[in-house]
Amino acid sequence: MTDPTHDPARTSWVASANGHPEFPIQNLPHGVFSPAGSGPRGGIAIGDSIFDVSAALELGLFGGAALSAAQEASGRSLNPLLEAGPAARQALRRAVSDLLATGGAGQPHAARILHDAAACTLHMPARVGNFTDFFAGINHVITAGRITRPDNPVLPNYRYVPVAYHSRASSVRVSGEPLKRPNGQRKLPTEDAPTFGPCRNLDYEIELGIWVGPGNPVGEPIPIGQASSHIAGFCLLNDWSARDIQSWESQPLGPFLGKSFSSFVSPWIVTAEALSPFRGPQPPRPAGDPAPLPHLLDANDQATGGLDIDFEVYIHSAKMRADGIAPHRLSAVNASVLYWTVAQMVAHHTSNGCNLMPGDLLGTGTLSGPDVGTEGCLLEMSRGGQKEIDLGNGETRRYLVDGDDIIFRAHCSRKGQVSIGFGECRGRIGAVT
Ligand code: CA
């Protein structure tokens, strides 16, 4: 479903938005920002600027359904906007697009309603109530599974169940913060007994994050056909992983301290509406795989639940920064590697009556392709730490070292559409203190 807000011919009076690789007028992602010297408030990225929703409200630039949605998008947390649902979000998108379009009514107020993004601080866009991390990138399952189970990398439940675990919401933080290397119990397969100390196999996982919209009362599952109305938007998610801690602790109940020390999200919520032109059929399952059970199967979801998003992972080491070298691209992968659609994740999550809440965060699981250069984490790239990864400047890595910056980017491009981006999700590894 596209509308005039997606029109590729639509341009903005905000000159930097036209041709902007991330934030043209067709994107309009929501976030929370502080202008220099002022407090946090809701904003929308447009080119190299941020549109100040509360300033536009004070000027009386909103009316009708967009007025209440703008109020919900104006505060220091976007949970009210997430709760409001698709109709409110779409009304606000249309109103903001009209204000910022060439000839739009916002232009005379440019000095009041726009801030230079480079001078602003970006914050967590919403309070995360719960964080569930799925495992839907099947190539990650195969490649990581081969390290411990060479003959049987994919367990039999995988092709029936969108496997997930309940991760930690309190330590989800926004891009740009430092990541302190965690301490923990570590025991490599070659060691006789565990020791406690700094993680030696620190890794990232590139994932698509999903911001949950209205959600459901406990005991009332969301049917697969209605799941999309509970998916408010998307972000980049770095599920930092302490592989040595994780592998020792995870039997039999799964990851805990190897994951809970922190996960990072990109600051902008790219709305479900902005992604509309970049949807398509869910890729067919390999021959011989079972069809999803009926409660996870919906014809419309199969026809439109696939997402065409290109992800990239870059590393910028302390040496690269000192030498003035640009970040080195570690991998690139498209979201078509997801075995399950996001709607299937939502339907599965609530199928037992579990309630999702506005601001809950879902992760897809590591996005990895089958080929070299498409792996979504170092565990896969280094084959479990067995193989050196060449960074192209004389440096190598098996896992992350202190001072490394890990940078995720993502873009959507399609013929006949204006490309949009997610901004970046960035974190620098710091020493244990
Ligand atoms: Ca993960």
* Tokens 């790239």 -> residue: 381
Q: How far is the CA of 250 from the centre of ligand 1 (A)?
A: 13
The class level of CATH for 4-123 reads: mainly beta
- Centroid of ligand 1 to alpha carbon of 240 (angstroms): 8
Q: What is the pLDDT of residues 213-259, one digit of tens each?
A: 999 999 999 999 999 999 999 999 999 999 999 999 998 999 999 99
The alpha-helical segments, DSSP class H, found in 33-100 are 53-58, 65-72, 79-84, 86-100
184-200: average pLDDT: 93
CATH, range 131-430 = 3.90.850.10
User: Across all residues in the chain, what is the average pLDDT?
Assistant: 97
Confidence (pLDDT) at 350 = 98
What's the 241 CA to ligand 1 centre distance in angstroms?
8
User: From ligand 1's centre to the CA of 261, what distance in Å?
Assistant: 13
Amino acid type, 141: V
From the CA of 133, how far away is ligand 1's center (Å)?
6
Task: Characterize 326-341 residue by residue with b for buried, 16 or more Cβ atoms within 10 angstroms of its Cβ, and e for exposed.
Answer: ebbebbebbbbbbbbb
**Centre of ligand 1 from the C-alpha of residue 29, in Å:** 24
Residue 315 confidence (pLDDT) = 98
> Does residue 334 have a pLDDT over 90?
yes
Dist. CA 11 → ligand 1 center (Å): 38
Q: Indicate yes or no: pTM above 0.95.
A: yes
Half-sphere exposure of 301 toward its Cβ, with a 13 Å CA cutoff? 22
Delimit the domains of the chain by residue range.
4-123, 131-430
DSSP string covering 308-344:
--EEEEEEE-HHHHHHTPPPEEEEEEEGGGBSS-HHH
Q: What is the pLDDT of residue 433?
A: 65
Q: How far apart are CA 314 and CA 328, in angstroms?
A: 5
Sign for the CA dihedral angle at 108, 111, 116, 120 comes to negative
Determine the distance separating the centroid of ligand 1 and the alpha carbon of 178, expressed in angstroms: 19
Distance 358 CA to ligand 1 centre (A): 21
At residue 406 the predicted structure's pLDDT band, cuts being 50, 70 and 90, is very high
Residue 134 Cα to ligand 1 middle (Å): 7
Q: Among this protein's residues, is 230 annotated catalytic?
A: no
Kindly give the distance from the C-alpha atom of residue 260 to the centroid of ligand 1, in angstroms, as a whole number. 11
Render pLDDT for 57-93 as a digit per residue (tens, 0 to 9). 999 999 999 999 999 999 999 999 999 999 999 999 9
Quote the ligand 1 centre to 63 CA distance (angstroms): 42
More confident residue, 20 or 148: 20
In angstroms, how far is CA 124 from the centroid of its own chain? 13
pLDDT digit string, tens, across residues 363-387: 999 999 999 999 999 999 999 999 9
Kindly indicate the confidence band of residue 188, based on its pLDDT and cuts at 50, 70 and 90: confident
Choosing from 20, 115, 123, 140, the catalytic residue is: 140
pLDDT at residue 149, as a whole number: 86
